[in-house]
Amino acid sequence: MKLILSIILLFFFSVTSYSQGDLYNGIHIYNNNERSFGIDFISNGMGFNYKIGKRVDGRRKNIYQLDFSWFKHPKEIKIKTYDSGNRFVYGKMNFPSNFRLSIGKQKVLYERKDRNGVKISYFYTGGVSLALLKPVYYYIITGGILTEQRFDITEIHTYSQIHSRASFFKGFNEISVVPGASLKLGFDFDFATSDDRIHALEAGACLDVYYKELEIMATENNNMILFTLFVTYRFGKITKMSIN
């Protein structure tokens, strides 16, 4: 969270010193279609996305976006195992990740006035979320024998029984899917100096609501509603342009 706020503040302070340069010579280029990739820094994890934008008019676009992210439960705390010293999250039952397919609108609020200016837009999207829960396996010592087991609160796996976490790839054939819906709102600050390129920072908030609680930890604090803040670095290209 602190990292995200620091990035936002740093960007806003830099805008004022970056917004003067060569003026346009009366020719304005309307961005038509775009394709771009984004790297997401979210308040409880990280991710990436792919966006397609299709121009409606000089200021508006329809946007289609695919997101993938992985996130943490707020109660996750890494500790060391009793005998091996390996680090793991005690009580973690599933490793969560999220696919999001959404559509929405983007509208320009302020056009750049010069080559080094910043174009500011706002956007909103809504769509489907699919939470993927991959079981977490541990190496458990029982009666002097080392076995791979899922953490099971009914078995009362104790801290002293856990030797280490098993391979991350263990349990991929047991992934469960929890569907839901999403809503994302944010602002886009495009500071690209070339008319056919996109270099932008986005900042905003996202809400995901699932039809049941996501079993991430062996605790009663699992939620079916996730609210996150995000900062995205976006880069890509304009696939068509209209000149006026």
Q: Tell me: the pLDDT tens digits for 104-157?
A: 999 999 887 776 788 899 999 999 999 999 998 887 777 667 777 777 665 555
pTM for the whole structure: 0.77
pLDDT at residue number 29: 52
Token output for 126: 């809504």
- The owner of tokens 């508006």 is 60
Coil, strand or helix at 68: strand
Coil, strand or helix at 17: helix
On whether the CB atoms of residues 237 and 198 are closer than 8 A, the answer is yes
Running DSSP on this structure, what letter comes out for residue 217?
B
CB-based burial label for 228 (10 Å; 0-12, 13-18, 19+)? buried
HSE (side-chain half, CA atoms, 13 Å) at 138: 25
What are the pLDDT digits (tens) for 16-70? Answer: 444 444 444 544 555 578 899 999 999 889 999 999 999 888 789 999 999 999 9
Task: Work out whether strand 241-243 and strand 45-55 pair parallel, antiparallel, or are unpaired.
Answer: unpaired
What are the pLDDT digits (tens) for 208-227? Answer: 999 999 988 877 678 899 99
pLDDT at residue number 20: 45
Q: May I ask the CATH architecture of the domain 2-243?
A: Beta Barrel (2.40)
- How distant is the alpha carbon of residue 243 from its chain centre? 34
What are the pLDDT digits (tens) for 81-118? Answer: 666 666 777 778 889 999 999 999 999 998 877 767 88
What are the pLDDT digits (tens) for 158-177? Answer: 656 676 677 778 888 889 99
Report the C-alpha gap between 86 and 72 in whole angstroms.
19
CB-based burial label for 69 (10 Å; 0-12, 13-18, 19+)? buried
**CA-based max dimension of the chain:** 81
